[in-house]
């Protein structure tokens, strides 16, 4: 008997967890460093590299400081959730597995129009790209589906397949809600009381929007960015049990990346500087990626 | 004869790559089969969202047996030569036969079975396929556009057995990804043995193989939906092509759009529908505007008749159009001046400066061109100043293809002069051979200025198109200028009236800038000890040749510069600037020449496309005229004339005459003094002499009036006398005066004709 359809944002997540867990994925928790996209979790960026198989699923809060609208836009958030699945090597039936997950969250594939529309993914800050599609459900993009070809400037072999579900958007579609803040966060019939997405996150959006656009001190951000930048090679130069400290170093790259996003939202980065900042982060990321692959291949 | 069927079944192939893939598959298969000696009766390929298909009719079961003759070494050649030959041919000496003193091998090659050749062909195609972008997947080393799942390969109803990187060939394909017979969803595999079974099987499993058929179904479905609601489809061939590559079972579904959005410009709605959602727009049959509906092409015929699909898509469209509305509202609030400010920060091209600098050039040029096209110079300058502003608007940021158009709308919304709004809207036109040419004088002025700046600018930095590469679309720009000039009958010389103003503005601006920079330095330098170094640094920064300044200042000790009379330094600067200006003007003459040549080249292509001869353009252009309207008028008259009997014969006469003249001129003969009728001149000489005198005035006045047909008719009067002269008069008379006079007569013919065109450049 199929599981009952999810009725809330959180049960949608639990359904996806159940589904991917049943496929053999490890279900991870979010990485505890601010990131701009679920892909940046070390479980994807680092684990995609190297020869070892790896299948994982997790929710990752994503921070896009520039996208904040003080909670006044029904679709835009500076903090939202992505559901990430990474399968390495990608199984031959990955598309079917993906479609199965849509069915699991309650989309009837006989009444909806699901389409795989060309969309090649690229993330210049981590030197990554892949080919794939955006998946449309009745004209709406519900997921990004990518076969990673390079990460950190290195070839991904075997190839990892990545799925990214924009959880809020998907939930709005599944539950027929037009404003993200109206989403049922837990079951509307919950005995202990019902909360909406707005009850949980609206104030968060307001305060962070103000902080992102006006609050942060640019000089401090810049100093912190440069600190991180200096420390990455130092951390990589240090080793424990013969392995360089690539995992802490990568966390610093993530922090640098988030600091860059904050500076960007503050309007502190001129158009001409943008490319150079992105290049600096990419170089750091490449250092980590190379060190990681070396360790993986040695093991 | 047996048939070959090949299907390469993969995950979803990008729509934009499908047509090219079908062509490449066809070309590669043809080449392989031809190389194997096969001449199939028919070969056809298909491409769709998940499959590439090849069907070849009329292949033999095997290659024909072939006999080959191999020539070996001569009898008695050194043993090494024999050994080498035997090794290369894979033979032993007893298989050789002696013929005429040479060892020969007669080999009978048994033809290989077609299946072997097909297996090799498929492997070569799969491994060598040139997708615009390809990838690897899983642990496979194979590259394909997306993961390749199956290879169906049957020849003569049997599987051709082979495997490529673990994918084994077979006779199984599968149907639609979602739709299936019976319950549930998902592709159903089925076996096929030939193309008939294949295409019927696919249809039974909800797949339309042929893209043309998918397109026909889409159009038909759309029209049926429209008919039922009394609507009209806004046709869009590019979109049709794309959606036909996105659905194996294309099913048009009509959805509703919130009519409140209809106050947005129709182009915005349509572009948003097309770019983001790949929807067709619809309109009321009588009205101009759009109707509040859309048609999406679903991939499935859904269980509920498309209700859920229509609702879902309508919701997405609403949020897209809300974005567009937001852009519109924001843009109207911001307006032109802040946008123009922003263009200062937008690079047009690293070597051609910012967009704001480009605007300055276009403004100057539009002002100069305006009188030529009957536009008001100030208005033209204002329209040009505003023309590029919308590039900084949010709407154009989102939909770049709406550039110009949005500027026009925003100008109207801001209550600007409608003529200026139209000029902003139309200044990119014509964007291609199918696009219309602006006709309003103001629009013509700005459209010309825009294209000329692009052309001259990129020529100036040596970014001319080469071969198939034309990254800045300069050919299109040149063709646009040509069409605007011709279709609006704009009179003027390309060099003097269109290119010269560009250079004049550019050079004046550069020199002014340089002067300001140099004097600014000079003013600072009351203490002047570092004048020398500073000018050097400026020279480096500007990468200009300041050597003349150094020469003038170089011998001066820094201390002395401080006390040097300002007049002498300023004179030095002025003298340098005037030299610099001369250098720039020289370069501009050369540059104008190459731009003009480019125009003439494009003009030839245009006329050729209209069935006119390109040598006639050369013949007319050689006269040194660069008024394109007049050039074309001459070419047309010339073309007509050369089709007449008189024209053909006169051309032949001209060639004979000019050959004689050329030979004599080589020997040093020159026409000096007038020609006359010598006392014992023959009748043909007298006749030609008279004929030349008779046409002189009418020819001149026909040319003056630019009535080139009349001018040709005058020339036609020379035909008889020229023929008679050339047939009846011995030019190289031994009497020097006679010879000289006769040559002069021929030269007079050449000169008269030369006023109309350089006939020596006209092909026979």
What is the pLDDT averaged over residues B100-124? 91
Over range A28-46, report the average pLDDT. 95
Query: What mean pLDDT is predicted for residues B53-77?
Result: 89
Query: What's the pLDDT score for residue B379?
Result: 96
Is the ipTM reported for this complex over the cut 0.90? yes
Indicate the pLDDT class of residue B562, thresholds 50, 70 and 90: very low
Mean pLDDT of the B316-331 span: 89
pTM of the model: 0.78
Query: Could you give the CA distance from residue B342 to residue B455 in angstroms, rounded to a whole number?
Result: 24
- Our CA-based measurement puts residue B272 at a distance from the nearest CA of chain A, in whole angstroms, of 13
Comparing CA positions, the residue from A96, A87, A298, A295 lying closest to residue B139 is A87
CA–CA dist B52, B129 (Å, integer): 12
Pairing of strands B158-159, B163-164: unpaired
Question: Does B14 sit within 8 Å of A118, measured CB to CB?
Answer: yes
Which helix (DSSP H) or strand (DSSP E) does residue A165 occupy? strand A161-166
pLDDT for position B233: 94
Rounded to 5°, the CA angle B473-B474-B478 comes to: 125
Residues of B in contact with A114 (CB under 8 A): 178, 299
Q: What is the mean pLDDT of residues A102-111?
A: 90
Which residue of chain A has the CA closest to B309?
A: A138
Query: What pLDDT score does B533 carry?
Result: 56
With contacts defined as CB-CB under 8 Å, which chain A residues touch B246?
Answer: 115, 117
Closest to B296 measured CA to CA, from B254, B234, B250, B233:
B254
> At A232, is the secondary structure helix, strand, or coil?
helix
| Rg, C-alpha atoms of chain A | 20
Report the largest interatomic distance among the alpha carbons of chain A, rounded to a whole angstrom: 58
> What single-letter DSSP state applies at residue A182?
G
| Pairing relationship of beta strands A128-137 and A140-151 according to DSSP bridges | antiparallel
Contact B194, B154 (CB under 8 A): yes
Per-residue pLDDT, A272: 65
CB contact under 8 A, B135 and A178: no
B115, β-bridge pairs: none
Cross-chain residue pair A157–B299, CB shorter than 8 Å: no
Q: Which of B16, B21, B138 is best to mutate for the A interface (most A CBs within 10 A)?
A: B138
- Best of B135, B250, B297, B346 to substitute, by most chain A Cβ atoms within 10 angstroms, is B135
Which range scores top for mean pLDDT: B45-54, B398-407, B594-603?
Answer: B45-54
What was the pLDDT predicted at B577?
A: 84
Neighbour-count burial of A6, counting CB atoms closer than 10 A to its CB (0-12 exposed, 13-18 middle, 19+ buried): buried
Amino acid A2: pLDDT? 53
Q: What is the DSSP letter of A8?
A: S
Number of H-type helices and E-type strands within chain A = 8, 11
Pick the closest to residue B198 from B12, B22, B7 (CA basis). B7
CB of B325 within 8 Å of any CB in chain A? no
Residue pLDDT, tens place only, B476-525: 999 999 999 999 999 988 888 899 989 999 899 888 988 888 777 666 55
- Under DSSP, the state recorded for B144 is B
For residue B353, the model assigns a pLDDT of: 85
In total, chain A counts a number of residues equal to 299
Test the B interface: residue of A2, A120, A139 with most B CBs within 10 Å? A139
Nearest to B137 among A133, A147, A178 (CB): A147
Interval B358-385 mean pLDDT: 95
Do residues A121 and A129 lie in contact, with contact meaning Cβ atoms separated by under 8 Å?
A: yes
What's the confidence (pLDDT) of residue B612? 80
> For A189-206, b where at least 16 C-beta lie within 10 A, e where not — what string?
eeeeeebbbbeebbeebe
3-state class (DSSP) for residue B473? coil
Q: What percent of chain B has pLDDT over 70?
A: 93
A-contacting residues of B 260-279, CB under 8 Å? 277, 279
- For an interface test with B, give the residue of A113, A156, A159, A170 to mutate (most B CBs within 10 A): A113
- What is the pLDDT at residue B142? 96
Using the structure block, give the residue that is written with the tokens 């050649």.
B77
The contacts of residue A290 (CB under 8 Å, 6+ apart) are: A152, A154
pLDDT digits (tens, 9 = 90+) for B268-312: 999 999 988 999 999 988 777 899 999 999 999 988 889 999 999
Task: Answer with the residue of higher pLDDT: B702 or B72.
Answer: B702
pLDDT for B185 equals 82
For position B559, what pLDDT does the model report?
42
Q: What confidence tens digit (pLDDT) does each residue in B599-643 have?
A: 999 998 888 888 888 889 888 988 888 899 999 999 999 999 999
* Helix, strand or coil, per DSSP, at residue A237: helix
Least confident of A69-78, A97-106, A145-154, B187-196: A69-78
Cβ atoms within 10 Å, residue B124: 13
Residue in A252, A224, A248, A228 with CA at minimum distance from that of residue A238 = A248
Tell me whether residues A138 and B135 touch, CB distance under 8 A: no
B604, two tokens = 């030839």
pLDDT (tens digit per residue) in B416-455 = 999 999 999 999 999 888 899 999 999 999 999 999 999 9
Return d(Cα B318, Cα B555) in angstroms, integer.
75
**Closest CB to B136 among A110, A159, A173:** A159
B140-162, pLDDT tens digit by residue?
Answer: 999 999 999 999 999 999 999 99
Average pLDDT over all residues of chain B = 88
Considering only CB atoms, B302 lies closest to which of A110, A120, A133, namely A110
Q: What is the DSSP string of B534-595?
A: HHHHHHHHHT---HHHHHHHHTS-HHHHHHS-HHHHHHHHHHHHHHHHHHHHHHHHHHHHHH
pLDDT at B567: 55
Closest-CA distance, A102 to chain B, in angstroms, reads: 13
B305 to chain A, any CB pair closer than 8 A? The answer is no
Contact residues, B window 179-198, toward A, CB-based 8 Å cutoff: 185-186
Instruction: Give the nearest partner residue to A137 out of B253, B296, B312, using CB atoms.
Output: B312
CA-based end-to-end distance of chain A? 43
Nearest C-alpha neighbor of B156 from the set B210, B118, B209: B118
Please name the residue of chain A whose CA is at the shortest distance from the CA of residue B148: A92
Angstrom distance (rounded) from CA A41 to CA A31: 6
- Count of positions (residues) in chain B: 764
Q: Residue B67 above 60 pLDDT?
A: yes
Q: Are B546 and B536 in contact (CB under 8 A)?
A: yes
CB contact under 8 A, A116 and B316: no
Q: How confident is the model at residue B537 (pLDDT cuts 50, 70, 90)?
A: low
pLDDT at B547: 44
Contact A120 B316 (CB under 8 A): no
Separation of alpha carbons B280 and B263, rounded Å: 18
Residues 6+ apart with CB under 8 A from B20: B132
Question: How far apart, in whole angstroms, are the C-alpha atoms of residue A109 and residue B426?
Answer: 46
Q: What is the largest CA-CA distance in chain B?
A: 111
**Does B354 contact chain A (CB < 8 Å)?**
no
Which residues of A fall within a CB distance of 8 Å from B139?
89, 158-159
Contact B300 A113 (CB under 8 A): yes
Q: Is B139 on the interface with A (CB under 8 A)?
A: yes
| DSSP-assigned letter for residue B62 | B
- Minimal Cα–Cα distance from A100 to chain B, Å? 11
Find the CB nearest B308 among A91, A112, A178.
A112
**Predicted local distance difference test score (pLDDT) of residue B568:** 62
Q: Rounded to whole angstroms, how far apart are CA atoms B25 and B28?
A: 5
Q: Determine the average pLDDT of the residues in B348-371.
A: 91
Mutation target to probe the A interface, by most A beta carbons within 10 A, among B168, B246, B312 is B312
**Cβ contacts from A onto B, under 8 A:** 99
- Select from B452, B453, B449, B423 the least CA-distant residue to B438: B423
Q: With an 8 Å Cβ cutoff, is B243 touching chain A? A: no
Q: Chain A residues contacting B, CB < 8 Å?
A: 75, 89-92, 95-96, 108-118, 120, 130-133, 137-140, 147, 149, 157-159, 161, 173, 178, 271
Q: Is the CB of B133 less than 8 angstroms away from the CB of A131?
A: yes
B185·A114 Cβ contact <8 A: no
User: φ, ψ for residue B248 (rounded to 5)?
Assistant: -85, -25
């Amino acid at each position: 008997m199929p599981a009952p359809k999810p009725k809330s944002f959180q049960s949608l997540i639990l359904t996806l967890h159940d589904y991917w867990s049943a496929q053999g994925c490890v279900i991870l928790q979010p990485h505890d460093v601010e990131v701009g996209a679920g892909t940046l979790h070390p479980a994807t960026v680092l684990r995609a590299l190297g020869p070892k198989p790896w299948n994982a699923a997790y929710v990752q809060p994503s921070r896009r400081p520039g996208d904040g609208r003080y909670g006044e836009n029904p679709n835009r958030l500076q903090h939202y959730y992505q559901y990430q699945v990474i399968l390495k090597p990608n199984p031959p039936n990955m598309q079917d597995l993906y479609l199965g997950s849509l069915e699991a969250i309650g989309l009837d594939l006989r009444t909806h129009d699901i389409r795989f529309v060309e969309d090649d993914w690229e993330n210049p800050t981590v030197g990554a790209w892949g080919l794939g599609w955006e998946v449309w459900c009745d004209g709406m993009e519900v997921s990004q589906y990518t076969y990673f070809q390079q990460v950190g400037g290195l070839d991904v072999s075997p190839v990892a397949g990545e799925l990214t579900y924009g959880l809020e958007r998907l939930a709005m579609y599944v539950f027929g809600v037009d404003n993200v803040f109206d989403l049922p966060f837990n079951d509307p019939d919950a005995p202990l009381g019902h909360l909406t997405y707005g009850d949980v996150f609206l104030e968060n959006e307001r305060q962070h929007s103000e902080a992102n656009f006006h609050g942060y001190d640019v000089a401090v951000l810049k100093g912190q960015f440069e600190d991180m930048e200096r420390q990455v090679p130092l951390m990589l130069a240090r080793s424990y049990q013969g392995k360089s400290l690539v995992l802490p170093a990568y966390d610093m790259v993530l922090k640098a990346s988030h600091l860059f996003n904050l500076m960007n939202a503050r309007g502190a980065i001129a158009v001409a500087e943008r490319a150079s900042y992105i290049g600096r982060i990419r170089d750091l990321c490449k250092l980590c990626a190379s060190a990681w692959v070396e360790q993986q291949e040695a093991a | 004869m047996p048939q070959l069927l090949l299907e390469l079944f993969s995950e979803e192939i990008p729509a934009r790559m499908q047509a090219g893939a079908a062509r490449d598959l066809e070309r590669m298969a043809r080449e392989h089969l031809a190389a194997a000696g096969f001449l199939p009766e028919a070969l056809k390929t298909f491409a769709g969202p998940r499959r590439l298909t090849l069907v070849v009719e009329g292949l033999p079961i095997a290659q024909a047996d072939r006999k080959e003759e191999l020539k070996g070494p001569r009898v008695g050649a050194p043993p090494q030569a024999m050994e080498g030959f035997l090794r290369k041919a894979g033979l032993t000496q007893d298989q050789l036969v002696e013929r005429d003193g040479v060892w020969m091998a007669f080999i009978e090659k048994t033809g290989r079975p077609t299946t072997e050749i097909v297996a090799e062909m498929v492997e070569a195609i799969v491994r060598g396929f040139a997708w615009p972008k390809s990838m690897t997947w899983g642990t496979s080393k194979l590259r394909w556009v997306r993961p390749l799942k199956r290879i169906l390969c049957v020849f003569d109803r049997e599987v051709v057995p082979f495997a490529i990187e673990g994918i084994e060939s077979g006779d199984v394909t599968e149907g639609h990804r979602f739709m299936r017979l019976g319950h549930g969803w998902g592709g159903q595999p089925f076996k096929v043995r030939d193309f008939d079974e294949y295409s019927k099987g696919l249809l039974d499993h909800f797949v339309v193989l042929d893209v043309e058929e998918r397109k026909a179904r889409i159009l038909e479905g759309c029209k049926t939906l429209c008919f039922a609601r009394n609507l009209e489809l806004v046709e869009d061939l590019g979109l049709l092509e794309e959606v036909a590559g996105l659905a194996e079972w294309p099913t048009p579904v009509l959805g509703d759009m919130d009519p409140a959005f209809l106050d947005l410009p129709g182009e915005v709605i349509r572009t948003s529908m097309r770019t983001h959602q790949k929807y067709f727009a619809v309109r009321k049959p009588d009205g101009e505007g759009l109707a509040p509906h859309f048609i999406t092409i679903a991939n499935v015929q859904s269980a509920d008749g498309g209700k859920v699909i229509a609702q879902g898509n309508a919701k997405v469209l609403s949020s897209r159009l809300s974005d567009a509305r937001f852009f519109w509202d924001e843009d109207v609030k911001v307006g032109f001046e802040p946008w123009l400010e922003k263009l200062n920060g937008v690079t047009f091209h690293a070597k051609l400066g910012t967009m704001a600098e480009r605007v300055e050039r276009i403004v100057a040029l539009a002002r100069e061109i305006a009188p030529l096209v009957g536009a008001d110079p100030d208005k033209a300058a204002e329209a040009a100043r505003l023309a590029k502003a919308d590039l900084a608007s949010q709407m154009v940021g989102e939909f770049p293809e709406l550039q110009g158009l949005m500027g026009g709308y925003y100008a109207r919304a801001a209550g600007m002069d409608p003529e200026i709004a139209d000029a902003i809207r139309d200044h990119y036109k014509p964007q291609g051979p199918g696009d219309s040419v602006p006709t309003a004088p103001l629009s013509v002025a700005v459209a010309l200025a825009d294209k000329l700046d692009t052309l001259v600018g990129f020529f100036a930095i040596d970014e001319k198109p080469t071969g198939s590469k034309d990254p800045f679309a300069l050919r299109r720009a040149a063709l646009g200028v040509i069409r605007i000039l011709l279709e609006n009958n704009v009179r003027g010389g390309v060099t003097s009236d269109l290119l010269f103003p560009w250079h004049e503005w550019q050079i004046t601006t550069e020199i002014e800038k340089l002067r300001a920079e140099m004097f600014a330095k000079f003013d600072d330098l009351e203490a002047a000890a570092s004048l020398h170094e500073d000018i050097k640094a400026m020279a480096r920064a500007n990468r200009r040749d300041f050597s003349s300044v150094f020469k003038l200042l170089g011998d001066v000790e820094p201390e002395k510069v401080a006390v040097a009379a300002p007049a002498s330094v300023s004179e030095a600067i002025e003298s340098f600037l005037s030299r610099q200006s001369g250098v720039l003007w020289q370069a501009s003459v050369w540059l104008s020449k190459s731009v003009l040549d480019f125009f003439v080249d494009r003009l030839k292509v245009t006329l050729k496309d209209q069935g006119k001869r390109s040598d006639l353009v050369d013949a007319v252009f050689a006269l040194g005229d660069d008024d394109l309207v007049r050039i074309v008028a001459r070419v047309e008259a010339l073309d007509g004339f050369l089709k007449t009997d008189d024209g053909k014969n006169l051309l032949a006469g001209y060639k004979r005459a000019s050959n004689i003249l050329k030979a004599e001129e080589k020997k040093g003969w020159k026409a000096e003094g007038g020609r006359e009728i010598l006392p014992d001149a023959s009748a043909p000489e007298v006749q030609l002499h008279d004929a030349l005198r008779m046409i002189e005035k009418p020819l001149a006045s026909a040319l003056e009036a630019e009535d080139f047909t009349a001018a040709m008719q005058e020339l036609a009067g020379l035909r008889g006398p020229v023929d008679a002269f050339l047939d009846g008069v011995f030019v190289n008379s031994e009497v020097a005066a006679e010879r000289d006079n006769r040559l002069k007569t021929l030269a007079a013919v050449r000169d008269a004709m030369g006023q109309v065109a350089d006939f020596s450049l006209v092909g026979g």
